[in-house]
Amino acid sequence: MRAHQLDTYQAPAECIRAARAGISEVMRLLSLSREEDAERYTVLLDGVVVHLQSASAILRACDSVKNADLRRSVTQLQSEVKTLATTLSASDRLISAWVRRLGVKSAGYTERGGSAPLILVKKVNVTG
């Protein structure tokens, strides 16, 4: 294998390794479930997308039999990232809706976040 061919193979492989490492780190942080890590998820996932786009662009530019495995890896990782992003988005909507419901039940707010209407009570007994 010539040096140029080696470089064109190693570059996408390195991008794929970096993307996998990013996904692994997101999964590790999710398992810890700490609020302060929430912003890191987005940064890590953005990095994964950049690595996958780079690998995909390099693989499109040079067509080789050996690149077929790398293309499958990129496609698989892109699918995993899409699934992870969809799951995170859905869980955010679920938790937000749940918090709104709790506010409605316990704090006197409507489901849209407004104050619940006051109910007048005809009899009030105050002792003191």
Asked whether residue 120 is assigned to any structural domain, the reply reads: no
What domain range is 22 assigned to?
3-106
Residue 10 lies in a domain: yes
- Please state whether 108 falls in left (phi above 0), alpha (psi between -120 and 50) or beta: left
For residue 113, what pLDDT is reported? Answer: 66
Residue 15 lies in a domain: yes
The answer to whether the CB of 45 falls within 8 A of the CB of 26 is yes
Q: Does residue 60 sit within a domain?
A: yes
pLDDT tens digits, one per residue of 8-65: 456 888 988 999 999 899 888 888 878 787 788 888 888 888 888 888 888 878 766 6
Most confident range, picked from 4-8, 94-98, 114-118: 94-98
What per-residue confidence (pLDDT) applies to 73? 84
- On whether the CB atoms of residues 8 and 62 are closer than 8 A, the answer is yes
Q: Does some domain include residue 114?
A: no
> What does the pLDDT read at residue 122?
67
* Residue 80: inside a domain: yes
Question: Is residue 126 situated within a structural domain?
Answer: no
Give the mean pLDDT of 87-109: 73
Number of structural domains (the chain) is 1
Instruction: Read off the pLDDT of each residue in 90-110 and give the average, rounded to a whole number.
Output: 72
User: CA neighbours within 13 Å on the CB side: how many for 58?
Assistant: 22
| Residue 66 to residue 72: CA distance in whole angstroms | 11
Buried b (16+ CB within 10 A) or exposed e, 96-113: eeeeeeeeeeeeeeeeee
Domain-located, residue 8? yes
Percent of the chain past pLDDT 90, that is, above it, reads 4
